Amino acid sequence: MRTSPSFALFYIIVVTVTVQFLAPVEFAKYDRVLVLEGEVWRLVTGVWVHLTWAHLFMNLLGLALVLALFRKNVRPLAVLAIEVANAILRQYSRSP
């Protein structure tokens, strides 16, 4: 059974709003030294911490637009996997 893109968007929104609202920025932001010390969750949460709610809203709006434009060609689980892989690669590739 194939999941709809709106289902994937819903879960991405839930995760990002939860991280933004509940997780203190210091707990979730990317810090290479702390990642190397074992706080590996920062590889993913670092890209989901936004400076402002407006920043978060604009990013989610852009994601919704992309999913709406390509809804016939998008596989939601692939979007989630790409999002997590992108987060990890982008954070880990930063210079120390």
Provide the mean pLDDT of the chain.
76
Mean pLDDT is lowest, of 15-19, 48-52, 62-66, for: 48-52
Question: Which is more confidently placed, 58 or 72?
Answer: 58
Short-list 83, 70, 69, CA closest to 13: 83
Q: For the chain, where are the E strands, in sequence order?
A: none
Please indicate, yes or no, whether the overall pTM of this predicted structure exceeds 0.85: no
How does pLDDT run across 10-27, given as a tens digit for each residue?
777 887 787 777 767 777
Q: Using CA atoms, how far apart are residues 65 and 89, in angstroms rounded to an integer?
A: 24
- pLDDT confidence of 1, banded at 50, 70, 90? very low
Taking only the tens place, the pLDDT of each residue in 76-91 is 677 777 777 877 777 6
